[in-house]
C-alpha cells in the first residue's frame, strides 16, 4: 500500500501530541474500514484497516469505525480525543448538515432510515465529526495531493464494491444537490441487469464488485467452473475482494476474465458519455479494483472509451489514483480540517 506523495520526502521526526495538529479520516467501504491520522499537509502519521461488519446494524458499523480510528490514532502516538476533528467518507445518502447516513446498500446489513453516524461517532471518539460522500472526498484528496494535481477539472471514478464518482469543475468540487457524479447509476443498458439500487441497466450492475460476485454465484449454480470462491475460502474472506479478482485474472480464470472484460466495456461506454457531457481534462481511477488492477486496466478502460468519445482528439487520460487505497481516508481527514487562511 503506497503512502501519499506528501508523506514521502525525508523522514519525519517524532513529535508529541501538543506540537502537532492532527485530524482523523475514515473511509467506510463495503468490505473494509480504512482509518488514518494526518497533519495539516495531509501526511499520514498513522493508519489502520479492519473488515467492515458483514451483517452489522448501523450502530455496530459505527462501533467498528471507532475501533479502527482509535487504533490508527494509537499508531500515531495519540488518542482520538487529541484529534482536532474526524471526517468520515461514506457511501449512500449523506446529509452533511445533519450528520446522517441512509440508503446504504453495500455496508453491513444495509440501512434505509437515516442514522446519526456523525453524532454517534463523535460521542465515542470525543471530538467533532464531519460526514461526506466517500468518493467525493477521495477525489478531492487526489485533486489536492495526488493524480489530479495537474488538472483544473476532472472526473473521479471509484471502481470497487460499487462504482462511485466525484467531480471537480474548474477547481471547485461539484456536488449538485448532493448526488452529482453518480456515474455508477448512469444507465448503460436500458432494461438490463438489476442493480443494487433496485433499477436496471446501471453501470454498477455490470462493473461493481458486489454485482459481479452475484453474477459469479449464478454462473456456478448453472454449472460454470471458476476458482474464485475457492480462493475466497482459502483467504478466509466472506466476499470476493479486489485481491481475489486480481489473482483470478492472473491465473486466467475464464469466468473472472469474462466478468471483468464486460465491466471494462461498460465502464468505457459510461465514462465516455460522462466525458461527452462534461468535457473534463482527466479521469482519475481509484477504488479497490481500480487501484489493485492499476495502469494496465486504466489503459484498457481508456481504449474502451475511445469508440464513444465525441471529440476523440481531446480524449482525456485515465490516471490511476496516486494515493492508492488511502485516498478516501485522507480525503475524509481533509474534510475535517478548517480552510487554510
List the one residue out of 80, 59, 62 whose CA is nearest residue 71: 80
Kindly report the number of other CB atoms within 10 A of residue 126's CB atom. 12
Residues in the chain, overall count? 341
Read off the pLDDT of residues 100-111 as tens digits, 9 standing for 90 and up. 998 787 687 767
Q: Please say whether the beta carbons of 49 and 82 come within 8 A.
A: no
Report, as an integer, the average pLDDT of 206-221.
97
C-alpha pair distances (Å), 129 with each of 29, 119, 252: 18, 7, 44
Provide the CA 332 distance to its chain's centre, in angstroms: 11
Read off the pLDDT of residues 277-289 as tens digits, 9 standing for 90 and up. 999 999 999 998 9
The whole-number pLDDT of residue 324 equals 86
Candidate from 4-8, 109-113, 216-220 with smallest mean pLDDT: 4-8
Buried b (16+ CB within 10 A) or exposed e, 169-185: eeeebebeeeeebbbbb
Comparing 18 with 166, the larger pLDDT belongs to 166
Q: Is the pLDDT of residue 19 over 80?
A: no
Q: Residue 177: left if φ>0, alpha if ψ -120 to 50, beta else—which one?
A: alpha
Q: Is the pLDDT of residue 183 over 80?
A: yes
DSSP 140-166: HHHHHHSTTTT-SSEEEEEESSSEEEE
- Cell numbers at 2, concatenated: 503506497
The whole-number pLDDT of residue 15 equals 43
Q: Is the pLDDT of residue 323 over 50?
A: yes
Candidate from 160-164, 168-172, 304-308 with smallest mean pLDDT: 160-164
Read off the pLDDT of residues 110-155 as tens digits, 9 standing for 90 and up. 677 899 999 999 999 999 999 998 899 999 999 999 999 999 999 9
Angle between helical axes of 209-221 and 254-278 (0-180°, round to 10): 150
Q: Please say whether the beta carbons of 141 and 42 come within 8 A.
A: yes
Q: Which helix (H) or strand (E) holds 125?
A: helix 117-125
Percentage above 70 pLDDT, the chain: 93
CA distance 286 to 329: 13
Residue 2 pLDDT class (50, 70, 90 cuts):
very low
Q: What is the pTM of this model?
A: 0.84
The whole-number pLDDT of residue 18 equals 42
Q: Which helix (H) or strand (E) holds 62?
A: helix 58-75
C-alpha pair distances (Å), 65 with each of 121, 254, 303: 8, 37, 38
Percentage above 90 pLDDT, the chain: 77
Amino acid at each position: 500500500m503506497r503512502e501519499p506523495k506528501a508523506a514521502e520526502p525525508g523522514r519525519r521526526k517524532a513529535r508529541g501530541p501538543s506540537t502537532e495538529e492532527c485530524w482523523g479520516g475514515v473511509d467506510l467501504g463495503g468490505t473494509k474500514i480504512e482509518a488514518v491520522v494526518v497533519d495539516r499537509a495531509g501526511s499520514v502519521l498513522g493508519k489502520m484497516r479492519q473488515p467492515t461488519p458483514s451483517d452489522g446494524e448501523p450502530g455496530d458499523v459505527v462501533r467498528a469505525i471507532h475501533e479502527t480510528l482509535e487504533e490508527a490514532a494509537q499508531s500515531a502516538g495519540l488518542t482520538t480525543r487529541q484529534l482536532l476533528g474526524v471526517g468520515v467518507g461514506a457511501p449512500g445518502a449523506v446529509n452533511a448538515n445533519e450528520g446522517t447516513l441512509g440508503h446504504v446498500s453495500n455496508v453491513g446489513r444495509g440501512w434505509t432510515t437515516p442514522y446519526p453516524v456523525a453524532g454517534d461517532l463523535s460521542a465515542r471518539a470525543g471530538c467533532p465529526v464531519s460526514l461526506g460522500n466517500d468518493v467525493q472526498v477521495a477525489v478531492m484528496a487526489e485533486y489536492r495531493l495526488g493524480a489530479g494535481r495537474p488538472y483544473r477539472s476532472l472526473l473521479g471514478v471509484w471502481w470497487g464494491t460499487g462504482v462511485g464518482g466525484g467531480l471537480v469543475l474548474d477547481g471547485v468540487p461539484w456536488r449538485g444537490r448532493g448526488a452529482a457524479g453518480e456515474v455508477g447509476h448512469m444507465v448503460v443498458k436500458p432494461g438490463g441487469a438489476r442493480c443494487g439500487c433496485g433499477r436496471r441497466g446501471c453501470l454498477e450492475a455490470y462493473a461493481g464488485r458486489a454485482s459481479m460476485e452475484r453474477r459469479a454465484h449464478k454462473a456456478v449454480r448453472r454449472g460454470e467452473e471458476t476458482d474464485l470462491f475457492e480462493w475466497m475460502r482459502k483467504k478466509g474472506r466472506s466476499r470476493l475482494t479486489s485481491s481475489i479478482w486480481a489473482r483470478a485474472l492472473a491465473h486466467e480464470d475464464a469466468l473472472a476474465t469474462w466478468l471483468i472484460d464486460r465491466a471494462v466495456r461498460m465502464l468505457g461506454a459510461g465514462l465516455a458519455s460522462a466525458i461527452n457531457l462534461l468535457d473534463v481534462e482527466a479521469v482519475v481511477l481509484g477504488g479497490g479494483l481500480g487501484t489493485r488492477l492499476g495502469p494496465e486496466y486504466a489503459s484498457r478502460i481508456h481504449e474502451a472509451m475511445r469508440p464513444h468519445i465525441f471529440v476523440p482528439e481531446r480524449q482525456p487520460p485515465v490516471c490511476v489514483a496516486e494515493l492508492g487505497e488511502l485516498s478516501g481516508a485522507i480525503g475524509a481527514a481533509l474534510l475535517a480540517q478548517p480552510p487554510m487562511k
